[in-house]
Amino acid sequence: MSLRRILVISLGNPGEYRNTYHSAGHIVLEALQRQLSQDQPSFAPQRIGKQNTLASIGARYSLLQSPAVMNVSGPWVAKAYKEHLAERGLAPSEVGVVLVHDDLEEELGVIKIRDWKRSHRGHNGIKSVNGALQAHPAGKWARISIGIGRPDARDKASVSDFVLAKMPRSARDVLEGSGSRGVLQALIELETKWGVEA
């Protein structure tokens, strides 16, 4: 059975921390929606996983922005995945799942495809998702990381202050421009590798 849909979920933080480096996934996903065909609707609030969620459900892509706080996003992601299958009558083998998240180890705007089971490297959002959602072996799973750079100091407090800092317009422009184009290219590569139905 070939893949019929791609479920793309971005991790980030809600409320006052939405425009921070830790929410790079949300920022890029919104820009990605604007790059996709006219069949991909604008983001709008929907009730998913028992929480209000910004979603864009198109013919091929389901784009969801996790409404949960980054470090405890796993339970919501697991609920959203199961709900997505049930509501659309899809088997796990018919859905490719892509998690979009920030990456401290890459320069700003650098996009990388990561194996789903690759080490979380201290990223608590990925750790939470891995703990709550077991990747079904019949499905296709991947992560797309978005480089945000990192402070010179490596201590926990400095890193926390950096990822939760308000993102300047210049950095946001990079993510919305080359960052979103890189994510689109990564999705195309994954679709080719996975054999998504036309």
pTM for the model stands at 0.95
Q: How confident is the model at residue 120 (pLDDT cuts 50, 70, 90)?
A: low
Q: Which domain holds residue 50?
A: 5-194
Total structural domains within the chain? 1
28-48 per-position pLDDT tens digit: 999 999 999 788 999 999 999
Q: Which amino acid is at 146?
A: I
Residue 92 has pLDDT above 90, yes or no: yes
CATH at residue 78? 3.40.50.1470
CA-only gyration radius of the chain, Å: 16
79-90 per-position pLDDT tens digit: 999 999 999 999
